[in-house]
Amino acid sequence: MNREEKGLSAGQLTMMALGCVIGGSFFLGTAVAINAAGPGVIICYILGGIVVHYILYAISEMTINNPVSGSFRTFVSQAFGRGGGFVVGWVYWTGMVLAMSSEATAISILVREWAPNISIPLLGSVIIVCVTLVNLLGATKLSKLESALASIKIFAIVFFIITAILLIVGLYPGKPAVGIGALANEPIFPGGIAGIAGSMLIVLFAYAGFEIIGLAASETDKPKTTIPKAIRYTVLSLLALYIMSYAVIMPLISTTQISADRSPMVAALNAVGIGWAGTAINIVLISAILSTMLAAMFGLGRMMRSLADEGLAPEFLKDITDVPYRGILISGIAMLAGLGFALLAPQIYLFLISAGGLAILFTYVAIMATHIRFRIKNGRPAPENFQIRGFPYSSLLVLLFLIASIISMPFIPEQGSGLIAGVIIVTFYSLCYFAMWIFNSARGHDREYKKMYRQKTSFSTEISKELSQAEDDDQNVK
């Protein structure tokens, strides 16, 4: 890639990750988690942040060793073979495409509050086309817009936290001090262990999107230093924003008054007589969803390029340019198709949308399993400051936690269908790879690919060692 396209800093990567994570689920979806766990939801967000920390550091260790555009999908291929990389890559891509097509619908519904006569299919299509075209401009230009949009929602969250604190301590003009407010009569764990377990799944979905950092590794000048910094900034920022925002909500409103059809922030401010919050949050919510779609499309384009480069996607999707134009365009077309499918078969579409959660959890399970195998094979190749603490026990615990979250899906309202849909998608792509393997084996392509892949991996390893040695020599000279 050209150097001008490889200029993403740790701060820009952090803003891109925050842009991808803090979307509609932050402003709306977490109401379900609050209802299930009550004030104890704070513990869920802390646990979720710890899980995110370990997954990101697993990505970081493997990325430092081999900063490729395919990130975790490529690492899965190296650890478990092409079949594993094929299934993980396509499941992740499909889940994100379906999720982003639904986000376009969500924006359209929000805009209709101000323009009731506008067509949802038309507006949704325009949004998807715009998101696709912006991504075609390249990583540097996209990061500037993404940073601006991410800044809007971060400012809104910080503004809400400050406003809530002023209301709690009695410094908000014209309002008496709330104090501990609703917390006085609120049980800490109203749903018990079951409530905590049920909300954990929603919390993990609320954190989803941080893996975009790994997919952006090839867009940085110095991934070995930039990626770990971006990961540290992202984890700390997410923990601070999530924990503080929901901590100040609890005194303002009883958790039983929070519903899934309205933002907990809006509900909390309305409860204390600040009625203008609804319109303001809706505006921020639109920018938040747009920001999520832009960042997700960035990752989808790189994922598709990685699949095509290894012969795991159609040949015509291969890109030799810095920007994966074909991967981005096919992802945009797939989102438009998803939007159209939602109009023609809404029940089936909703069933598939529910698979998005499993697609994310499946990806995280694959990342942790790959990291365990990576460390067993390579020892500790990353600098000590960027290694997972407590390996292998910590990695095994996170892996088991993620598997338990998947197993618990049928016991959580409206998540059982997500597990079924997700299993169908994973099975479908497994069968696709099996059929492709039989076809390639019959034509003798498989042996040719394996030979090419071994040569490519060996060459990449040699180059990485030479670059690392050159950097060390340069530091010694300095």
452-471 tens-digit pLDDT: 445 444 434 433 443 344 44
Q: What is the pLDDT of residue 1?
A: 43
Q: Which amino acid belongs to residue 201? A: L
Query: How confident is the model over 27-39, as pLDDT tens digits?
Result: 666 777 777 777 8
Query: In this structure, what token pair is assigned to residue 202?
Result: 């929603």
Number of domains in the chain: 1
Q: What is the pLDDT of residue 432?
A: 93
Whether pLDDT at 450 is above 60: no
Which pLDDT band holds residue 355 (cuts at 50, 70, 90)?
confident
Mean pLDDT of 366-377: 90
Q: How far out from the chain centre does Cα 368 lie? A: 15
Q: What is the pLDDT of residue 280?
A: 79
Query: How confident is the model over 401-444, as pLDDT tens digits?
Result: 999 888 887 777 667 787 888 899 999 999 999 998 888 777 76
Q: What is the pLDDT of residue 382?
A: 58
Percent above pLDDT 70 for the chain: 84
Whether pLDDT at 304 is above 70: yes
Q: Domain for residue 207, yes or no?
A: yes
- Are 321 and 4 in contact by the 8 Å Cβ rule? The answer is no
Query: How confident is the model over 274-289, as pLDDT tens digits?
Result: 877 767 777 888 888 8
Q: Domain for residue 472, yes or no?
A: no
How far is Cα 8 from Cα 83, in angstroms, rounded to an integer?
31
Query: In this structure, what token pair is assigned to residue 165?
Result: 């604190």
CATH number at residue 206: 1.20.1740.10
Query: How confident is the model over 309-349, as pLDDT tens digits?
Result: 888 888 888 887 778 899 999 999 999 998 888 777 777 76
Q: What is the pLDDT of residue 285?
A: 80
Put residue 414 in one of left, alpha, beta given phi > 0 → left and psi -120 to 50 → alpha: left
Q: What is the pLDDT of residue 33?
A: 76
Q: Domain for residue 470, yes or no?
A: no
Which pLDDT band holds residue 19 (cuts at 50, 70, 90)?
confident
pTM of the model: 0.81
Whether the CA torsion 437, 442, 443, 445 is positive or negative: it is positive
Q: Which amino acid belongs to residue 371? A: H
Q: Domain for residue 473, yes or no?
A: no
Query: How confident is the model over 155-203, as pLDDT tens digits?
Result: 888 888 888 899 898 888 888 888 887 777 777 777 777 777 777 777 8
Q: Domain for residue 474, yes or no?
A: no
CA-only gyration radius of the chain, Å: 23
User: Which residue carries 């988690």 as its tokens?
Assistant: 33
Higher pLDDT, 7 or 453: 7
How far is Cα 245 from Cα 264, in angstroms, rounded to an integer?
10
Find which of 9-18, 166-175, 391-400, 453-462 is predicted with most confidence, using mean pLDDT.
391-400
- Are 204 and 48 in contact by the 8 Å Cβ rule? The answer is yes
Whether pLDDT at 353 is above 80: no
Q: What is the pLDDT of residue 446?
A: 52
In sequence order, the 6+-apart residues with CB closer than 8 A to the CB of 209 are 17, 20, 21, 23, 292, 295, 296
- Are 216 and 145 in contact by the 8 Å Cβ rule? The answer is no
SS3 state at 9:
coil
- Are 1 and 322 in contact by the 8 Å Cβ rule? The answer is yes
Q: Domain for residue 178, yes or no?
A: yes
Domain range for residue 152? 3-462
Higher pLDDT, 26 or 365: 365
Q: Domain for residue 90, yes or no?
A: yes
Which pLDDT band holds residue 260 (cuts at 50, 70, 90)?
low
Whether the CA torsion 211, 300, 207, 197 is positive or negative: it is negative
User: Which residue carries 């430092």 as its tokens?
Assistant: 64
Cα angle 232, 235, 239 (rounded to 5 degrees) comes to: 140
Segment holding 32, helix H or strand E = helix 30-37
Q: Which amino acid belongs to residue 467? A: L
Whether pLDDT at 205 is above 60: yes
How far is Cα 165 from Cα 178, in angstroms, rounded to an integer?
9
Q: Return mean pLDDT, the chain.
A: 79
Whether pLDDT at 445 is above 70: no
Q: Domain for residue 224, yes or no?
A: yes
How far is Cα 235 from Cα 228, in angstroms, rounded to an integer?
11
Angle between helices 10-21 and 223-252 (to 10 degrees): 40
